[in-house]
A = this chain, B = another copy of it.
């Protein structure tokens, strides 16, 4: 019953197999190999447009490199106050960005709403030489609260921000849909130590992840497990505090349930937030916990978890 993080899971069998297959013969280093070329083609197909693609080994690297590339050191990145880039990357965006500034916006369920964005843009003192300039609006799917921005919400936020300023999808691949935007990203990635010499093995993983909709299959399984977990908990009287729209369930548990779960070997983290829905508050004997499912989560461990909570 490991619901601590999807990082606790291992490698999907299809991806491991792809690594093995890629290990045949020599290949040019640093991304000049066929696997990398195929990943670029595959992304172009997926988004139905050309893109400059940069693969990197971690999500933090992808986030920090992308933000530093889009914003100058005197730029501000507007994000949710509890966004991962703001709270869990030990200042990586500021480091890569030469001291840029993250400006956190409040919002329920981990989501920025257009009004809050507009207020920040109106009220803030922006622009040189004394003030930083709002340059990037950072939205992540899913949010830290396991919720999702819908296309129309993204469109409205982008309008509030004044322009759809390009856009980077970061997840160990950084994509620039305007290819010219990718200029000098190779140097930036190299200087960050994120250009892998045996790059084909990075590419082979992404290639396998994109092939035959594997990414969709894995994500759907994780999401289905989260839905099952949420439904089970709700049936036992523990309704998640935010809509479950991805692979995370946030729920307030009584201390007793928490203790029983720990005794039974369940692993997960408590969660602190200022982003609860208006009117919702924890009771004195409750802890808010985050439960993360992954491609490797199985029905059995979900059901055991629910059973223990129900019995508490």
Residue positions of A touching B, CB distance < 8 A: 2, 4-5, 7-11, 16, 19-20, 22-30, 56-65, 72-74, 87-102, 123, 125, 128-133, 184, 186-198, 201, 272, 296
Contacts and interface: CB of A to CB of B under 8 A. Distances in A.
Given A91-B73, A132-B90, A186-B128, A59 B197 contact: yes
A58 B195 contact: yes
A63 to B, nearest CB: 8
A92 B4 CA distance: 34
A20 B12 CA distance: 11
B10 A187 contact: no
Contacts of A28: 4, 8
Contacts of A73: 91, 94-95, 98, 191
A90 B23 contact: no
A171 to B, nearest CB: 12
A228 B23 CA distance: 25
A95 B187 CA distance: 11
B99 A95 contact: yes
A130 B88 contact: yes
A61 to B, nearest CB: 3
A189 B61 CA distance: 11
Please give the count of copies of this chain that the complex contains.
4
Nearest to A97: B99
Contact of A296 (B2, B26, B100, B102): B26
A307 B132 CA distance: 38
28 contacts: A5-B29, A7-B30, A7-B198, A9-B26, A10-B23, A10-B25, A10-B198, A11-B19, A16-B19, A16-B20, A57-B58, A57-B193, A58-B197, A60-B190, A74-B91, A74-B184, A88-B131, A90-B132, A91-B100, A91-B132, A92-B190, A93-B99, A94-B101, A95-B191, A96-B193, A97-B99, A98-B98, A132-B187
Contact of A197 (B5, B63, B72, B99): B5
A73 to B, nearest CB: 6
A63 B4 CA distance: 32
Contacts of A20: 16, 20
Contact of A57 (B5, B25, B191, B196): B196
B90 A190 contact: yes
Contact of A74 (B93, B188, B195, B197): B188
A125 B87 contact: yes
Nearest to A296: B26
Contacts of A272: 123, 125
A172 to B, nearest CB: 10
B29 A129 contact: no
Nearest to A60: B193
Contact of A101 (B7, B91, B131): B91
A311 to B, nearest CB: 24
A144 to B, nearest CB: 12
B91 A129 contact: no
